Structure 1
Amino acid sequence: MKNIYGVLKGPRLTEKAALLQEEDGKIVFKVHPKANKIEIKKAVETMFNVKVRDVRTANMHGKQKRVGQKIGFTNDWKKAYVTLSEGEINFADEL
Structure 2
Amino acid sequence: MDQMKYPVLTEKTIRLLEKNQYSFDVSIDSNKTEIKKWIELFFNVKVVNVNSHRLPKKKKKIGTIAGYTIRYKRMIIKLQSGYSIPLFSNK
When the two structures are superposed, what TM-score results if normalisation uses the length of structure 2? 0.85
Tell me which stretches of 4 or more aligned residues in structure 1 moved more than 3 Å. Answer: 92-95
Q: Name the stretch that deviates more: 54-63 or 5-14.
A: 5-14
Q: Name the stretch that deviates more: 63-72 or 40-49.
A: 63-72
Residue 11 of structure 2 corresponds to 15
Q: Name the stretch that deviates more: 24-33 or 69-78.
A: 69-78
- CA distance in structure 2 between the aligned counterparts of 1:93 and 1:76, rounded to whole angstroms: 23
Structure 2 counterpart of 1:11, one-letter code: P
- CA distance in structure 2 between the aligned counterparts of 1:49 and 1:7, rounded to whole angstroms: 18
Say if 2:56 is the partner of 1:61: yes
Closer, same or farther in 2 for the Cα pair 1:71/1:7, shift >3 Å?
closer
Deviations along 1:22-50, whole A, 9 cap, x unmatched? 2x110000112111110010010111111
When the two structures are superposed, what TM-score results if normalisation uses the length of structure 1? 0.82
Shift of 1:63: 0.8
Shift of 1:71: 2.6
Shift of 1:93: 4.4
- Work out the number of aligned pairs and report it: 89
Say if 2:70 is the partner of 1:79: no
Query: Per residue, is there more helix in 1 or in 2?
Result: 1
**CA RMSD, 1 decimal:** 1.5
The match for 2:23 among 28, 42, 48 is 28
| Ranges in structure 2 where 5+ consecutive residues have no aligned partner | none
